[in-house]
Chain A
Amino acid sequence: MQYETVIGLEVHAQLLTDTKIFCGCSTKFGAPPNTHVCPVCLGMPGVLPVLNKKVVDFTIRAALATGCQVGGRSVWARKNYFYPDLPKNYQISQYELPIAERGHLDIEVEGRVKRIGITRIHMEEDAGKLVHDPAAPLSYVDYNRTGVPLMEIVSEPDMRTPEEAAAYLKALRDILVYLEICDGNMEEGSFRCDANISLRPVGQKELGVKTELKNMNSFRNVGRALEYEMRRQAAALDGGGSIRQETRLWDAQGGKTVSMRGKEEAHDYRYFPDPDLLPLVVDQAWIDKARAALPELPQARRERFAAQYGLTDYDAGVLTAAKPVAEYFEATVAAGGAAKAACNWITSEFMGALNAEGLEIGQAKISPAGLAELIKLVEEGALSGKLAKEVFAEMFASGKNAAAIVEQKGLKQVSDAGELEGVLQKIFQANPNEVAEFKAGKQKLMGFFVGQVMKETKGQANPKLVNELVRKLLAG
């Protein structure tokens, strides 16, 4: 049977505040276990949470950037369940009244734009981490992460393919990174995704039974897990079976999802309003202030780049996918580098080199002004395109500026017509047959002459000038 896949995503994004959501402890990752803790985040008897306003600021930004209804009164709730990584054995979250609702995100898949609904955004505290001793039946708990602020973004079940899910996830991540409220790192767990997926016969309105997928710690794994689950559910339905409502874990090594718990074993979280925190009231002034401080978002920037710099949609998309890259590009242009050339350099040589070294653009030794200089040298004919790549590689490795490298290595392009004429005369004398044929109309011998000149000048001749000179000297 033909099925339609229905996918909804729940994303947990760690917010980049300096301190935790309900106490003053640092949120810094990687500290020795249990060093970023205090009585409050350890849930000691008698302690009380105090809300970090920055968490609200950040969440409002995300809500505005995704077109959510934000503001009014939202309520903190306790989600009760026992687990050693949760010191109070309840998580402070938002339940019935979240801070933001009813937003959307536009995604593009195979050239088609599609709007994905966002059901709600709410804030909550993260849990700690269990560390299991492989040598003994012992587990330890690290509470450094306890109380790190999380934002949960729940989508509508609007996605129909794993590609759409990936595009949504990517677009959402780009926005959060642009807003500088989340580092978007899936591998380190600062951007996590759970997926709800169900199948229904094409044409049927009613939703099928869904499963919830967890433990997908990369974009690739989200795609793989959804593909697998789609096939698994289809096979089960085709075989006359039914889907069990359950939570399944993605096993990346095995390339499959495995059942974790069924609906029957699902927790009853006994949500109720947290009496330790007042309802959160976000007024219009707060929203207006946040809106005024919003940066240009990826989609708007992509459209602007295409229009302002005459770039293709594809190139504009590549440049704007990450904010630092987009900013680097604009800084290069501002320093006098031609936009098209800057785009070409950044999207090909530069990104290739960065990827090879595992670096971010901000860590590169080449400044936007340095790149602009290189572009100008090529443009002015002082450096050939081919040699420019060599110069770039040297700049990337050493951080030296382009002119110095050209000078040092003697790579300066020979654009002296007199010097080149001398070289050409020698070549003409040595190759009379070719000269005669060229004169007789065999234009493609141009390549031969240029090649010979390059050979003589070790590639430093300005090819454009060589072309002109050949035509001039052999004319008539």
Chain B
Amino acid sequence: MELHELTLEQARELLDRREVSAKELAQAFLDRIQATEPQVRAYLTVTPESALRQAEAADQALSAGRSGPLTGIPCGIKDVFCTKDLTTTAGSRILENFVPPFDATAVARLKRAGAVVLGKQNMDEFAMGSSTENSAFGPSHNPWDLKAIPGGSSGGSAASTAAGSCLFSIGTDTGGSIRQPASHCGVVGLKPTYGRVSRFGMIAFASSLDQAGPFCRTVAGAAQVLQAMAGHDPADSTSSPLPVPDYGQALKRGVKGLKLGVPKEYFVSGMDPEVEGATREAIKVLQGLGASTVEISLPHTEYALAVYYIIAPAECSSNLARFDGVKYGLSVRQEQADLMDMYLDTRSQGFGEEVVRRVMLGTYALSAGYYDAYYGKAGQVRTLIKEDFLAAFQEVDAIVSPVAPTAAFELGQKADDPLQMYLSDVLTLSVNLAGLPGMSLPSGFSPQGRPIGLQIIGPHFAEETVLAVGHAFQQATDHHAKRPAL
């Protein structure tokens, strides 16, 4: 077995037994990046020198017996996380040369846990998109089928994890941006409860929805990464002060005796039959493991898309106002230009089409005279959506559903049809609106060999349950063990 084919747990064992050094492991992944990048294009920046330096430090820690679960584990970082002294673009031309003077809290915590950062990964510009086709630096490709999109917005992270060009990655999920690409690339992607992981240093798209989480090939690995990232951060007032449980321990719980809800609204028209088939099959597996299932209803599901496309653009229109050419990033200053020219030139040259679309949508939705009808109303419906889930969780321990209505589509297929593109997140958006934890894990393949994902949704701060269900499923299946032929 090649080193890049290891799971995080296997790599951990080899490192701990000193059978492989962190430096060898890092080098193996840097070689894998060299080999796969021409086809996958998952990375925007690769940092071999600092990766090897961090790996050496990890080796020292290992020798000194000061290692933790992530010491020496090579990882990738979605380029939406600020990284100290390392270019951070958010997939946008406007930040092409932006070098943050600080690390995002999530990144700082991974580094502190000993993880080795290989580089920054591709994404839809400012995390707005479902295919990475909105990246200003070109799309990433699905390792299972290079003609297909890897999903988005954290497409680079998902593709890299699937291609074995990192052992794990961290991404962000505002409406499905971790779970949908994880589903399309056949890896595990976990969006924690809103507030579980600090948002400090994550370039904001929609602040009330954004949440960071891990990509990994296994649920067990994802649990370790979450363990390192999670917890209150004094720099993020919206991060939760609740203590972080032992997620490794939670894996052992299994699904026996758990009651799982299957929302009838999540089997939508237009859904690929093989997606529905794989989901029903997965439910049978979980039943076989001792879980009971019951059909539930989340009656306001149909409004989630509309609510999301008011709230997220509204927040982004304000969050992205800071990119104005005055302080950092792109600044377009023509001869004889005044302030307004600088604003207009910088922003129209710096932002891509989808970003402009959402900034305009959001600006409109917040305008005097429209606020109540749009933003105000959307907030009310958001509460109803959340209450749907709270009611369901009175009855069930977790919810299982498909992640996306279809397997990965082809590059270019929906690029010119934003509405079709928005529909690929229809089964994941509600989870963000309600602030719940949700995870995608591999549950099968389409006839063309493209992965299909299963979504597990838990109550607020019940990551333990979500992980337990996912781990049990992976113990009983081998979808996650398959590798794309690259």
B82 touching A46, Cβ below 8 Å: yes
Query: Contacts of A89 on B, CB cut-off 8 Å?
Result: 321-322, 324
Q: Does chain A have a CB within 8 A of B34?
A: no
Q: Does chain B have a CB within 8 A of A281?
A: no
For A266, give the chain B residue with the smallest CB separation.
B368
For B326, give the chain A residue with the smallest CB separation.
A84
- CB proximity of A163 to chain B, nearest CB, Å: 36
Known contacts A46-B201, A48-B237; decide if A82 and B343 are in contact (CB<8 Å): yes
B371 touching A45, Cβ below 8 Å: no
A42 to B322 alpha-carbon distance, docked (Å): 10
Q: Does chain A have a CB within 8 A of B207?
A: yes
Query: Contacts of B104 on A, CB cut-off 8 Å?
Result: 46
A275 to B319 alpha-carbon distance, docked (Å): 10
> Which of the listed residues A39, A44, A270 has the most CB atoms from chain B within 10 Å of its own CB?
A270
A47 touching B201, Cβ below 8 Å: yes
Interface of A is mostly: loop
A152 to B323 alpha-carbon distance, docked (Å): 28
A143 to B350 alpha-carbon distance, docked (Å): 24
Q: Does chain A have a CB within 8 A of B366?
A: yes
- Binary contact track B226-260/A, C-beta < 8 Å → 1, others 0: 00000000111110000000000000000000000
A82 to B338 alpha-carbon distance, docked (Å): 14
For B325, give the chain A residue with the smallest CB separation.
A84
Known contacts A82-B321, A272-B375; decide if A48 and B199 are in contact (CB<8 Å): yes
Q: Does chain A have a CB within 8 A of B400?
A: no
Query: Contacts of A84 on B, CB cut-off 8 Å?
Result: 324, 326, 339
Tally chain A residues at the interface, Cβ within 8 Å. 28
Task: From A43, A51, A277, A278, give the contact of B322 (CB < 8 A).
Answer: A43
- CB proximity of A44 to chain B, nearest CB, Å: 7
- CB proximity of B166 to chain A, nearest CB, Å: 21
Q: Does chain A have a CB within 8 A of B133?
A: no
A50 touching B367, Cβ below 8 Å: no
Query: Contacts of A275 on B, CB cut-off 8 Å?
Result: 206-208, 238, 315
For A78, give the chain B residue with the smallest CB separation.
B318
Q: Does chain A have a CB within 8 A of B38?
A: no
Q: Does chain A have a CB within 8 A of B484?
A: no
Which segment of B14-22, B95-103, B144-152, B414-422 sits at the interface? Answer: B95-103
Query: Contacts of A278 on B, CB cut-off 8 Å?
Result: 237-238
- Binary contact track B439-483/A, C-beta < 8 Å → 1, others 0: 000000000000000000000000000000000000000000000
Interface of B is mostly: loop
A44 touching B207, Cβ below 8 Å: no
Q: Does chain B have a CB within 8 A of A88?
A: yes
Query: Contacts of A262 on B, CB cut-off 8 Å?
Result: none
B327 touching A87, Cβ below 8 Å: yes
For B210, give the chain A residue with the smallest CB separation.
A275
Known contacts A82-B324, A88-B322; decide if A50 and B234 are in contact (CB<8 Å): yes
Query: Contacts of B101 on A, CB cut-off 8 Å?
Result: 39, 44
For A278, give the chain B residue with the smallest CB separation.
B237
B102 touching A39, Cβ below 8 Å: yes
For B239, give the chain A residue with the smallest CB separation.
A48
Query: Contacts of B203 on A, CB cut-off 8 Å?
Result: 45-46
A141 touching B237, Cβ below 8 Å: no
A87 touching B322, Cβ below 8 Å: yes
Q: Does chain A have a CB within 8 A of B58?
A: no
Q: CB within 8 Å of B: which residues of A?
A: 39, 42-51, 78, 80, 82, 84, 87-90, 141, 268, 270-272, 275-278
11 contacts between A and B (CB under 8 A): A39-B100, A45-B82, A45-B322, A45-B323, A45-B328, A47-B200, A78-B318, A84-B339, A89-B322, A270-B371, A272-B375
Report, nearest first, the 9 A-B pairs whose CB atoms are least far apart. Answer: A89-B321, A275-B208, A275-B207, A270-B366, A46-B201, A45-B203, A46-B82, A268-B368, A46-B203
